[in-house]
Structure 1
Amino acid sequence: GFRKNLYLQRSDTSRKDEFTGRLKINWVVNDKTEFDFLLLNVDLNDPSDIWTIDGSLNTLSDKPGMDSQDTNAFGLKIFHLAEGFDFQSLTSSTHSDIVFSYDADWGNPISNAPYVYDFFSETLRSRRSFNQEFRVLSDPANFSNGIRGEWVAGIYYLDLSETNTKQDDGIYEDPFSGYDPYIVNSSSSSHYDSRNLAVFSHFEYLISESTRITLGLRWEDWESNYIDSYGESFSPSNQMYGGKFSILRDWNEYTNVYANIGRGYKSGGFNLGLGLQTNSSKENLIYDPEYLWNYEVGFSVRHPSSSLNLDTVLFYSDRENQQVLISTQVDPNDPNTFTFLNQNAAEGVNYGIEINLSASLTDDLYFFSALGVLRTKIINYESRPELEGRAQAHAPKRTYALGLNWKPRENIYFSIETTGKSSFYYSDSHANQSKPYVLTNLVLGYKKEQFTYEVWVRNLFNEYFSVRGFYFGNEPPDFLPTLYERQGDPRHMGLLMRYDF
């Protein structure tokens, strides 16, 4: 990993030990039927030791945690060509066993002295899912043959279940307070299951050879059940619908323009555990679906003689019942009770522009770039009026990327890319912001026949930047709310070797 544990004198407490294996089989039964089969195993054994009081890359924890996952999955795709339409079946299933644990006080007996402050949490999670989707597709539209319309219709089903077993242990003792130690030793378990059923359709019609309109609709029913050993139980359900209407026109041989109106949704849910049901209102526990109306206009240019590619889009979004993430700590003496609550703000607004430009400068040199300008706002938030008019969390005003691909020889290539991001609010529950940062990445590669070799460097100039920020108390004896930042990865490099057969 990139962090050193100064207390344990180890540099492997945040290492990565990951394996991914895939087996894909394609079976062409005949000229009308085809099967694609996938087997997947993902085995992640990653110790978790990333949080520090001072925001540095040197940790002090005495009980590093674990972030491991063992997932087995399979997928099956069936494609069948019938008379006048195509049929597709998409099936998948996953089973994951997950361990998530952490040293909640981020310290050790020496760093916390003279106070005894020692907390640890471990969650064992088992998660299963089954997906099934059926699609029926018409033959493609062809204006010259008099076929002006094409369509897709389908049905989607998801069955998900998750079981959690959690153990929280800890002790806090202030030798100057005169009170007995505060001791926590709690075990809890929970079970969650949900079902999603959706029907959808997509229709495209050619008004002329250069102009087409598109209409898409989706309706979804979501039902869930939750129960835990605290006695909390919820069974929320939502019925949601969305859709999209767009018009696209080929302006000339190289350029098209388009406009879209769409309505998307995100299902509601509930906030879990930690005794919140006894000291919080129902409105803080259950949140409603969020809906988003999105409006876009844009154009694309593809000029083959200069290899010029330009994509530009202007967008404006209205968020209804906007879901925001609020942090809270139920017990100031217990860091394991720090959690996040989803809540609904009345509404929010997003708008901006995205531009992607790429071109061949010479036969051997290729340029690419991207720019995003974003403005967001939370409005009409009755329970948190201080947030009204403020930008939404993790929504930087500017993002950009610039890069070059160079191929000096037939088998040798070189790439350099610079990405940047302006400051952004860490959370919708406090006003702390990140600092802007710029990162540079390099790749040097060699390819011959079936072999590929690459040497890569990420964060070339070893920039120190933060990606997350939390605001709560985790330092005895006063436990004053403090900003704790998680740093991004410093400069690192690696070697890739690939053989294609």
Structure 2
Amino acid sequence: MKQYSKKALSLAISSLLVSPLTSAQSAPSSDVERIAVYGALTTTPLVEMASSIDVISLFDIEQRHAQHLDEILNKAANVNFATGASRGRFVQIRGIGERSQFVDPVNPSVGYLVDGINYSGMLAGASTFDISQVEIFKGPNSARFGADGLAGMINVISTPTSETTNGNLQLGLANYNSWFAGAALGGALSDSVNYRFSVHQNSSDGFINNTWLGREDTNNQDELTARVKLDWQVNADFKLNTSVHLIDVDNGYDAFSIDRDRTTLSDEPGKDTQQSEAIAITADYQGLSWANVQVQGTYLQADLAYGFDEDWTYVGIAPGWEYSSTDYYYRDKQDSSVQLKLSSKEQVNNDWVVGFYYADKDEDLERDYSWDSAAFLSGVSRQDSAVFAQYKQDISDTQWLTASVRLASQQFDYSDSLGIAKEIDDNDWGAELSYQQQASANTMLYLSVLRSYKMGGVNASSLSKANDEGLEAFRQIILDNSEFGAESLVGTEFGLKGANQDGSLVVDFNVFYQWRDDVQYKNSFVINQSFVDFYNNAASGRNYGLEANLRAVISPSVDVFLNLGWLETEIKGITRRVDDVFENLQDREQAHAPSYQVNAGINWQLSENLTWLVEVDAKDDFYYSFGHDQRSDKQLIVHSNVSYSHGDWQFSVYVRNLFDEQYANRGFAFGNDPRDEYEFHTYEQFGEPRRIGASVNYHF
């Protein structure tokens, strides 16, 4: 990759950062790049997708100096995330998505795929090095992705192989004793085999000072990722693609402060780790006269560990009031899947796809909790199967309809060391019907109606406490709520995607309305200092708003961009109990659903080789949970990046959170300070402080 010229910069931003809109067939200008979306049932030009999809490119990732997915999510409108771990592992799209995971085997509302491998719920190792693009699908997407696509999907594509030798070397340093280094190389092994290899290490002391232990690395980051791709063109009609991933994350977790700042007093800091190996093999056969055939098989094995110092303090801080305990969760996950897909040949006017999907998922948990006399063990086995189809009907040269449907079945078996066993068999469906019209040479309008689903499950967390001392009065309530039901989401969306002739002005705008039924939400009993968490189904919810992405070239040396999300949410039928007080929430905003989100910036081409980016992230305040009414503060974060390019080299100096604003990505509300006899407080995990760094990239 050569230096970032002004033309390359304009193309990258207009076509990727703000969701480029114009395909080659509809725009004669060569300045508007044609972008493919790989997460659809077939690879499809972005302009032909009748839904809101943000595409974040390698260019965007490098300008942000992001080493992890959670460092770029604020670039997408109506996308939020929660920490409560070493990284932002829990994503919400349009206000829908999980905010934590402890005992319960969670089926995420927002899934996460990398090269076709399902990492949903495992974002600790979400490295962004050597990634060609990140596709963020918003709204109901079960017709494409199944249960993991209830509210959306994050689909990541690593850099593909190529016949020509090319690569990338990266090295960076930043404050908080941070450094990162990566190397990627690709090319041809023979006339028929291409390869791509990458390895990346990210390390940092983190942003916490543990004053009791005298350490500044108890919330550290130690993240290693390696990927290999091999593509073998067996013959003219048959191709095999293989992707192998190795992830080794050994992060600390010491984020919540009893003093409610960036200093902790924990005497037993926790950890957040992921060691995983995964492989995906895809076989494409195009030798049939009437259809193309694709078979993909994946396998993933992951060992996950997550734990923390529950009291956040040390022995002796408040004799007579204090307690001391740790809570650790060790998971062993195995996930294998196979998908068979038949699709129409390219010359067919009305495209179609039919297919079958099967996945076998096992998850074993060991919880080691100081207050339990023995470890709590549980095992979950899931078998997911589905048939799916898609059909595109041309109405005229400028109008077409697309219909998709997915019929799914899940068998869910649960057992634990308390002798509790549950079996759940469920069936559900997802669908999409969209109308698209080419309104002009460079403008497309669409209207879509969609339905998503999310299967029910078992409340392992509450069941693990059914026999706990002090909870005898609630045992029957716990047993009565041992299961929770499926959730469905129906949405409608209207959008416009357009650009002027030369691509100097690009607009992507949509409005949406989503109906949630039988909303799955985390409820809890709070009795003194004891918590009993479990999932319930609320009556209903509503999520509606708009997303607008704008990019404009102001002059040959200046371009600007704006990504804006506005969101309104409400929930009905939530009940909660604190001690002996019952509450019923009606028409309250949903958790982690800020009313507005803004990402905006300006890019200056100061000279042929020198560029300067100033970027702003803004976010409204939001509720942290359904279990209490505490809210975050509003956020306004400024970033800056200066890059100098010379041939294949790029040198950058950057600042994220320029004004060192303190903001939070996760919050809890309860009493946990023995020094004030456990008065009620809001405790928050703060986001990244001011980061100052420099990097060098060599693209060849």
TM-score (norm 2): 0.66
Task: Tell me how far apart the structure 2 counterparts of residues 195 and 479 of structure 1 sit (CA, whole Å).
Answer: 45
Count residues with an aligned counterpart. 479
State the partner residue of 2:620. 422
Task: Tell me how far apart the structure 2 counterparts of residues 453 and 219 of structure 1 sit (CA, whole Å).
Answer: 51
Are 1:150 and 2:355 matched, yes or no? no
Superposition pairs for residues 117-266 of structure 1, below 5 Å?
Answer: 117-140=323-346, 147-169=348-370, 185-266=373-454
Offset of residue 5 of structure 1? 0.2
Are 1:51 and 2:256 matched, yes or no? yes
Task: Tell me how far apart the structure 2 counterparts of residues 426 and 11 of structure 1 sit (CA, whole Å).
Answer: 27
Equivalent of 1:388, from 567, 570, 586? Answer: 586
SS at match of 2:587: coil
Task: Tell me how far apart the structure 2 counterparts of residues 221 and 27 of structure 1 sit (CA, whole Å).
Answer: 34
State the partner residue of 1:107. 313
Equivalent of 2:662, from 457, 464, 476? Answer: 464
Relative to structure 1, is the Cα distance of residues 395 and 102 closer, same or farther in structure 2, using a 3 angstrom cutoff?
A: same
Relative to structure 1, is the Cα distance of residues 443 and 467 closer, same or farther in structure 2, using a 3 angstrom cutoff?
A: same
State the partner residue of 1:485. 684
Task: Tell me how far apart the structure 2 counterparts of residues 482 and 327 of structure 1 sit (CA, whole Å).
Answer: 18
Relative to structure 1, is the Cα distance of residues 344 and 418 closer, same or farther in structure 2, using a 3 angstrom cutoff?
A: same
- Give, as a single letter, the amino acid of the residue that structure 1 aligns with 2:283: I
Q: Decide whether the 8 Å contact of 1:323 with 1:345 is kept in 2.
A: yes
Q: Larger deviation: 279-288 or 190-199?
A: 279-288
Relative to structure 1, is the Cα distance of residues 222 and 454 closer, same or farther in structure 2, using a 3 angstrom cutoff?
A: farther
Are 1:302 and 2:499 matched, yes or no? yes
State the partner residue of 1:441. 639
Task: Tell me how far apart the structure 2 counterparts of residues 410 and 113 of structure 1 sit (CA, whole Å).
Answer: 66
Offset of residue 99 of structure 1? 1.8
Are 1:22 and 2:215 matched, yes or no? no
SS at match of 1:280: helix
Offset of residue 49 of structure 1? 0.6
State the partner residue of 1:36. 241
Q: Percent identity?
A: 29
Task: Tell me how far apart the structure 2 counterparts of residues 382 and 115 of structure 1 sit (CA, whole Å).
Answer: 31
Are 1:362 and 2:555 matched, yes or no? yes
State the partner residue of 1:343. 536
Are 1:86 and 2:297 matched, yes or no? no
SS at match of 1:17: strand
State the partner residue of 2:213. 8
Task: Tell me how far apart the structure 2 counterparts of residues 449 and 104 of structure 1 sit (CA, whole Å).
Answer: 52
Relative to structure 1, is the Cα distance of residues 454 and 235 closer, same or farther in structure 2, using a 3 angstrom cutoff?
A: farther
Equivalent of 1:494, from 685, 689, 693? Answer: 693
Equivalent of 1:291, from 488, 508, 515? Answer: 488
Relative to structure 1, is the Cα distance of residues 410 and 90 closer, same or farther in structure 2, using a 3 angstrom cutoff?
A: farther
Are 1:64 and 2:269 matched, yes or no? yes
Task: Tell me how far apart the structure 2 counterparts of residues 116 and 433 of structure 1 sit (CA, whole Å).
Answer: 27
Task: Tell me how far apart the structure 2 counterparts of residues 395 and 116 of structure 1 sit (CA, whole Å).
Answer: 35
Offset of residue 374 of structure 1? 0.8
Q: Deviations over 1:261-289 (max 9, x none)?
A: 11111111121143238342455321111
Q: Decide whether the 8 Å contact of 2:276 with 2:303 is kept in 1.
A: yes
Q: Which has the higher contact order (CA 8 A, sep 6+)?
A: 2
Offset of residue 449 of structure 1? 4.2
Q: Deviations over 1:276-305 (max 9, x none)?
A: 383424553211111111011111112132
Task: Tell me how far apart the structure 2 counterparts of residues 6 and 445 of structure 1 sit (CA, whole Å).
Answer: 37
Offset of residue 452 of structure 1? 3.7
Task: Tell me how far apart the structure 2 counterparts of residues 364 and 347 of structure 1 sit (CA, whole Å).
Answer: 50
- Give, as a single letter, the amino acid of the residue that structure 1 aligns with 2:312: W
- Give, as a single letter, the amino acid of the residue that structure 2 aligns with 1:275: K
CA RMSD of aligned residues (A): 2.1
SS at match of 1:220: strand
Q: Deviations over 1:67-93 (max 9, x none)?
A: 111111111122221323211122211
Q: Decide whether the 8 Å contact of 1:89 with 1:134 is kept in 2.
A: yes
Q: Deviations over 1:15-50 (max 9, x none)?
A: 111111111112222232222211111111111111
Q: Larger deviation: 429-438 or 200-209?
A: 429-438
State the partner residue of 1:176. none
State the partner residue of 1:276. 466
SS at match of 2:584: helix
Q: Which runs of 5+ in 1 are unaligned?
A: 142-146, 171-183
State the partner residue of 2:51. none
- Give, as a single letter, the amino acid of the residue that structure 1 aligns with 2:313: G
- Give, as a single letter, the amino acid of the residue that structure 1 aligns with 2:498: V
Task: Tell me how far apart the structure 2 counterparts of residues 164 and 272 of structure 1 sit (CA, whole Å).
Answer: 10
Task: Tell me how far apart the structure 2 counterparts of residues 424 and 355 of structure 1 sit (CA, whole Å).
Answer: 21
Q: Decide whether the 8 Å contact of 1:40 with 1:72 is kept in 2.
A: yes
Task: Tell me how far apart the structure 2 counterparts of residues 446 and 326 of structure 1 sit (CA, whole Å).
Answer: 52
State the partner residue of 1:473. 671
Offset of residue 389 of structure 1? 1.0
Identify the structure with the greater strand proportion: 1
Task: Tell me how far apart the structure 1 counterparts of residues 609 and 533 of structure 2 sit (CA, whole Å).
Answer: 51
Offset of residue 237 of structure 1? 2.4
